[in-house]
Each structure stands twice: as C-alpha cells, then as structure tokens.
Amino acid sequence: MAGQPRLFDLPDAPEPWELAAEADLLTAEIVLPLPTPTTFHYLVPDALRDLIRPGQRVKVPFGRGDQLKVGFVVAVGSPPPAARRLKSIDALIDREPLIAGDMLELTKWISERYLGSWGQVLDSVIPAGVKKQAGTREIRCFQLAEGALEKAASLKLPARQRAVLEVLQEADGPVPVDQLEAAAQCGTSPIHALRDKKLIVPVRQRRSTMTEEYTPAARTADLILNPDQQTALDAILEPLQAPRHETILLHGVTGSGKTEIYIRAIREVVSYGRQAIVLVPEISLTPQTIRRFGSRFSSLAVLHSHLSDAERHWHWQRIASGEVEVVIGARSAVFAPTPHLGIIVLDEEHETTFKQNATPRYHAREVARERARRAGVPLVLGSATPTLESFDRAQRGLDRLIEMPNRVEQRPLPPVVIVDTRNDALVPRGHSIGRALKHSIERSINEGGQVILFLNLRGYSPVLWCLKCNEGVKCPDCDISLTWHRDRGKLLCHSCDFEMPPPERCPSCGQPGQKYLGAGTQKLEQEVRSKFPDARIVRMDSDAMRKPGSHDEALERFRKGEIDILLGTQMIAKGLDFPNVTLVGVIDADSMLHQPDLRAAERTFQLIAQVAGRTGRGEKAGRVIVQTMSPDDAVIQLAAEHDYLGFAKRELAQRREHHAPPATNLARVIVRGPREDLVRAEIRKIVETLKETAKGRGDDLRILGPAPAPILRLKKLFRYHCQLSAPTIEQILEWWRAAEARFSLPDEVELTIDVDPLDLR
C-alpha cells in the first residue's frame, strides 16, 4: 500500500517546519518514586512555561495506560531529539519548589552512592507533612494592582478606601482580608469597591494555622573549659573561621564535655548569621538534650518521629525561612532545609540508627559528610567509642582526630569489675542478678545512689524450648524464635509482630513438656522487685515506653531522684547524664559478644563502654559490674579498662586480616521471594553475572556467597544473599552498574542492594 511504512523502516526525517516547532518546545526532566534509575522527559504545556521549576512535583501520564503518577521535576530545558513524540505534563502540584537546588543535587548523589532511585530518595527526603502542606489553609488576600497609586491619585476616593490603599502600600506583600479590615478600620465594602475599580487585586495564599507553644528555657552561663576542651574547640573554630570544609572526629571519653564544645562552636556559627544542624540518635532527643541547647540559643527547631505532619511542616518552613538558629534531630534532620548552613554536628556517631534500613538505605554520617563538603563547612563527629570506619579515616589523615582522654573536673572513669557468672551461686540456677551485683545494688541504694541495670533483650524469655525434641517455638512466618511476653500473655515475633498464645504441646513433635529459657527485661524486672521490694523501680524498653511521652517522663523522674533503679535495653545507654548514678550493672555481656556478625566485638565494646559512662558523672564515685561467662575475652577486658585505642588497634588488625571493613568496602545483595528454590536459583544467576562482569576489572573484586541469609525466612519470604567486596566504594558502584542491566528477575522475586551494610542478618 502506497505511503504505508514497512516494518523496520526508519521514520521519515522531520520537515524543516517541524524542527522549528521543536526548537520552541520546553521540556522537563522528571523522576518518579519507582525503583528505576531512569529519568523521563515530558513536554511543558504553554500554561506552565513560566511556572515550572526544578524541585516541584507534577502529575504526568506514565506507561502504556497513561496512568497519572506524581513525579519530581529535576531539570527544565530545551527538548531532546524527537521531542514532538513526548507526552505532556498533566498538572503542576506545587506553586513553589519543595527542595532547593543544592539539596536536589545532594539527593542525586545519594541515589548514585547507594544505588537507589532518585525519585525514591526525593520521596523519602521530603516529609509527608510538607508534601501535604499539613497545618496550612488557603486564605483570601489583597494586594495593590499595578499602577494603582498613580491611578488613585487622580481619583476622589472616600477616606476608608484611601486607608485600605495606605495599608497595602506599607505591607510587604498580600494582606489577608481580616487583617486588612482591622488595619484600615473598615468593613468589606471599601475593599470590594477598590477591587471593582481595579485598584487592588485578590490573591489566594497558603498560611500556617500552627501557633508556637515553645517556652524558652532559662538562660545558663558558659561553663569554664578545661585545656582538652579548649584545644578541641580551637580545632573546630579554625575551619569555621577560614572558612573551609573539614571533618573532625572528636574522640572524648564519656563525661569529657563534648556537648559544651558543640554549643560553643555553634554559637560562633550563629554569630556569623548562619545555621547549625545537630544530629543525635532518636532516643537521645530527650528534654535534657533540648533544654541544654534551648538554654543557650534563642531559636531552636527539634525534629523527631513523634511530630505530627502539621508540626513537621511548620518546623520545615521556619528552618527554610532562616529564622531557626539550631536544628536538632535524628537521622532525617540531615536534610533540614537550612539556607545558611554553617556547621553539622553528628553526636554519638557510632550509633547504628544513623543507617536507614529501608529504601533509600543511606547512612546519615556519609550524607552529612557530603553535604558539609558541598557547603564548605565543618562536620564534627563525636563519640566516646567511634566506629572503626571513622577512626581508621582519622588515622590515615583523611579526617582530623581530636582526643579528649579526661572527664571534666578531673573526675575518674568508673572502675569496671568483671564477674565470672560460671562461678556464681545464683546465675546458674536461673537468676539474672549474681551475688556481687546484688550486694552492690544494696550498697548503692543504702548510700542514696541510683542504679542502672542493662540487658539488651526485651520480653520475659527469649525461647520456649521443647525438652523432648530440643526445638524452640518459632514464628510461622520467620526463621526466628518467639519471645514470651508475660505481661501480654503472648509469644511475640520481634521481626514481624506475629503473636500467639503459648502452645500446650510442642508444634514440632506434638509432645507436652516445654520450658522457658533465658531472661529478658520483663523477667529481670520481676527479679529486681522481688530482691529489692522497697526500691522504686522503672523498666525502660520499647514495650514499657509505648505511650507517647512515657520515655521522657521516666527520665525526668529518674533525674529528680524519684526512681532508685532504672533497668532496660540499650535506650538507657544513650548519652544520659545523671550525676547521682553510682552503679551500673551489665547483666549479660555474652548475648552481644557471640552474635554471628562481623561487628559483634565492636558493638559489645561500645555498649559496655557507653553504659559504663552513665555512672560517676557527679560528685559521687561510681562503679560498673559486668556479668559474663567469657571473663577472659579480650573485648570485655579492654572495655573494662576503658581502652578504646587498644581495642581499635586489635580489631582493625583482625579486620584487615579477614578483608572486612574498613579494610575493604562492602555491598550486600539480598534476593527474597515466596519459594526457596526460585530464590536460590536467582541469586546464583546474579552471582554468575557479577563474576563475568568482574573479569578484566582487577583481582581485588571479591564475591562472598551466595548463601542463605542468617535469618532464612522473614515475613513469609525466603532470603538468600551475597556480598560484594572491593578496596573502594567506587569500584563496587561501577561493578554493580555494569552488571545490573543484565539481571532479569521473575515478578515474585525482589532484589535489594545495601551499600555499606550494618545489618547482615
């Protein structure tokens, strides 16, 4: 048939008038919150040409069915080839960009660094309350029309109409109707008359409905710095005053006064008219922390997970306006929209909660490092027990290391007593508290001190064990033992929240005769109440602190001396400062030490050192008792001696020997699906593809696995994994990108890659 193109014929070249039309087109580059690295080009309709900017959200038709999806504009410009075949943007959602240009570029870096989707990163970074504009409403305003004053000069206007014009002339922008009426002392008639004369024009603006309920803390005077603190402060002020970017690792023992150094450095930043971001673990966002900063700065914004959407949006707007001096928050506060950033502080940098375990799997420390580098400002990392990654960087001269080996006012670090529970008369019989710890608790309470007991396992008993077939009762959806929660009368899965009443017979063999083994914080609480009936006791774990505000309330009662014994999980080990604590007891150091995890030794050392640091911070001396069945283990011995440098030297040597971070870089590939045979087959294909792709890229690219994940089944899905290892992170990223295009997975199989993984379960 004449004129009908045949299959595989090239399309006709565009006519000259078509090329001219294309040159006038405007296109937008869009990313969608989908697991794809692809960006998409769309035509910008004429009605949106002067309105559309990077950082805004738009609705676009996507896919064969042209289903409308929300995407982010990342660039606007001239059209690519064949632009006339592009689809058009359907609607513009935001009047103003939700994210500034520098932060847009940072999110692109995150997507590249952590092998994620740019659209998913943007969707995660911008809070839901900001996207929904929560806590705001549109109100009707008026402003002067163009040339209104010149036109009004030739008219004879009533006094009330002239009063309205005078109010609008003096205003910085559009004025809401109710405010205009009040300022001009008139009703609506003069306003409507001026509108009809086209001297004023109505506009709609979105205004916040939130009211500030912040009560400023009582101002406190500066503390006198000791020589170690002054040296550390001078080291931070140097790049601040230059100004230039530098990462400073502040390694100070617990109680060495790191927070005071942060405050002094931030005050210097504020004096320059700039802003500070202070990142702390979520659990450390206590009234004590907020009060400490609030007593030294007039404008504070606190970002945490318990904020409502409206509150988060309100804080976001205050930060973006530049009125906030200091932003304090957990991991996601690294994205706070500070227009005048002057410093980032990341306290307790060893905390694993700074790594996000859901897509996008970024680490706030590395994002903070990149953001500070781009802004040309210092990044301060603080910890008594730095991660080996940060310490190794400082040792190699990539970052600056500042040591603070002494506590303020020359207070000594508490002595640590290691108790071998194998020789204890009580612990082998099922008690959590041995004789030495029991006597020490009695002594501390009798002398008016307070006690902290640490056990990193919630619930009553972690295992319900069958004495016939030697099997534990496991979650039907996960390869994990169910934990007995006596207060709820249920066995619970700590991974998927499955719950069931305890079975009368073993699910594996059908026989009666089961026994609860081990102890969690609930059982510890029962034992403590039994042994110390007159003591005031509070348990602090995620079960006991479910009610909003209960965590802060318990800490405040402890601070006031209304609680004698505070027991709980790692949330009690986080940066708390209570001068009257004279005893800390670590119930079972072995539960952390013997985990199948390359960082088990590091985490054990950190937890013992951190929880030990909660005592001896006031005038009263403190002591620590560590109960363990491995008293001769080097990790526990070094923690008892407060010897971080000795531990780091030993552990780094072992990591180098075993090609483990920080001697190398890792990425973990996880494949999961409902059928184990299919998951196993797909991970093998992926590994083969990766091996082929690695050829010619050097001998230092290594693959560990594939193998079943330590927790084989999680939330009804089987999981297999492998690990990619290379000397630099850039090698891993290039290797993965070269292989990724060759993967083809069935719909029921999911693939996740975790760059710099912390959780290898």
- CB atoms inside a 10 Å sphere around CB 452: 26
CA angle, 517 then 523 then 524, to 5°: 115
3-state secondary structure of 464: strand
Strands (E) in 629-680, as ranges, are 665-673
Q: What are phi and psi of 741, to 5 degrees?
A: -65, -20
Quickly list H helices, 451-568.
521-531, 550-559
The CA distance from 524 to 461, in Å, is 10
Strands (E) in 38-132, as ranges, are 40-43, 57-62, 67-77, 91-92
Residue carrying the six token digits 């919630």 = 458
Q: How far does Cα 5 stand from its chain's mean position?
A: 56
Strands (E) in 533-620, as ranges, are 537-540, 565-568, 581-586
Please, are residues 424 and 649 in contact by the beta-carbon 8 Å criterion?
Answer: no
The CA distance from 573 to 93, in Å, is 45
**Which positions make up the binding site for Zn(2+)?**
466, 469, 475, 478, 493, 496, 506, 509
The CA distance from 342 to 269, in Å, is 6
Residue (of 731, 722, 721) closest to 700 by Cα position = 731
3-state secondary structure of 190: helix
Please, are residues 685 and 662 in contact by the beta-carbon 8 Å criterion?
Answer: no
Please, are residues 484 and 464 in contact by the beta-carbon 8 Å criterion?
Answer: yes
**Which positions make up the binding site?**
466, 469, 475, 478, 493, 496, 506, 509
Burial class (CB in 10 A: 0-12, 13-18, 19+), 417: middle
3-state secondary structure of 18: helix
